[in-house]
Structure 1
């Protein structure tokens, strides 16, 4: 059951969100407005299947779209040709060694068909703080000392919520997504949230879940005792071919 107008959040960091099932249908998934990007509010939002997404000059807008785009962590698709190309490259993968560099690249690297970015200064600061607290994570793809691709998002229990990815070399973001999915699958995390569908994600194996199925999974997954913390110690720097299935 949807509401006619979005819920306005209270000022307290732990002010409750409305049930995600009450998000608007038009625009799809708009759940709440206002508040701030302090860590506890962000974590509360993700735990309830919501995320912030707004442009410069807008108030903070919180979304829970229906359906929700997800990847099975053992279901990221890379073409045979691309896998062969990756195995021939000297790219390497790390995790949580350059979080701020990744999020700033996601904010600044141009994307075809997009004018500008929704990752503003406030978002960069908020997620960098969430990373410092051990809840936001990045996967980086390197060509020598150069960062050529990456992805970042939020981990909560046994759930990972992807936020954005970038490439400065062809295939850099694909490699980062595949490496992230491989790491999560190895840690027993079955689902990677990708938020909203686009053709690029579909080609890589993304599927859509009805929101009620997604929310049920999140509620169960976040109860898993997967501790927060920096991933760099458990995800050593390895060649990208290590993460590419045969």
Structure 2
């Protein structure tokens, strides 16, 4: 954490924080402040090493999931924060909303029978996407959100998908850990490519078209 906890950071300044290798995190939902963290070991999901299990592929081929980009941002962030313990406090929710309004924070929302059942959101700086959090209320819905996210990032020319930390969930999809120095070697050229854009909001390709047969 930063030595002095923060209550607000201008959105454009926060983009430079991400570009420098740090990210915001609060101690809890009730904490009015947040700190800036730069872990010694960083988790990433290599875009060329993303792994879709056979069970996930089967579930996506069934066609019960649909997804869209940037049409459910507030709902996805709220769902990510709606758990017993969360680092997403009101100050960060305001920050992400401001970044989204300025075109720098994005989400993938996954629906099943019309209900929002999974999603992921994060911040884009150049060709780097900093995934902040994801949620799921149906089996594999958050993994499906990552399938759509990786497809969008690849198509738009992104080179780095940062996951901050590595969880077993992410490791099962091909996530790996890197020392800070190795992460920065990927980060610096990625954030320098400010011409890369996340892409237009709206419906995303059919789930079955994204998985191997």
1:147 counterpart SS class: strand
Alignment partners' CA distance in 2, 1:96 and 1:189: 17
Alignment partners' CA distance in 1, 2:156 and 2:198: 14
**Is residue 2:49 matched to residue 1:49?**
no
Question: Considering only CA atoms, is the larger Rg found in Structure 1 or Structure 2?
Answer: 1
Cα distance change of structure 1 residues 32 and 217 upon mapping to structure 2, 3 Å threshold: farther
Q: Note the alpha carbon deviations across 1:197-239, whole angstroms, 9 max, x for none.
A: 2211111210111111211221111111335576316xx4332
**Is residue 2:123 matched to residue 1:151?**
no
Give TM-score scaled by structure 2 length. Answer: 0.90
Give unmatched runs, 5+ long, in structure 2: none
Alignment partners' CA distance in 2, 1:31 and 1:191: 25
**Is residue 2:151 matched to residue 1:182?**
yes
| Count, aligned residues | 210
Alignment partners' CA distance in 1, 2:199 and 2:72: 11
Look up the match of 1:171: 140
Instruction: After TM superposition, give the deviation of residue 77 of structure 1 in Å.
Output: 1.7
Give TM-score scaled by structure 1 length. Answer: 0.79
Q: Note the alpha carbon deviations across 1:104-139, whole angstroms, 9 max, x for none.
A: 01011x3xxxx4211111111110110000000001
Look up the match of 1:95: 69
Q: Note the alpha carbon deviations across 1:64-122, whole angstroms, 9 max, x for none.
A: 112110011132222112211210132111100110010001011x3xxxx42111111
**Is residue 2:7 matched to residue 1:33?**
no
Higher relative contact order (CA 8 A, sep 6+): 2
* One of 32, 56, 80 as aligned partner of 1:106: 80
Moved beyond 4 Å, runs of 4+:
227-230
* One of 182, 205, 211 as aligned partner of 1:238: 205
Give unmatched runs, 5+ long, in structure 1: 1-29
RMSD: 1.8
**Is residue 2:93 matched to residue 1:119?**
no
1:104 counterpart SS class: helix
* One of 34, 56, 61 as aligned partner of 2:35: 61
**Any conservation in 1 of the 2:43–2:163 contact (CA below 8 Å)?**
yes
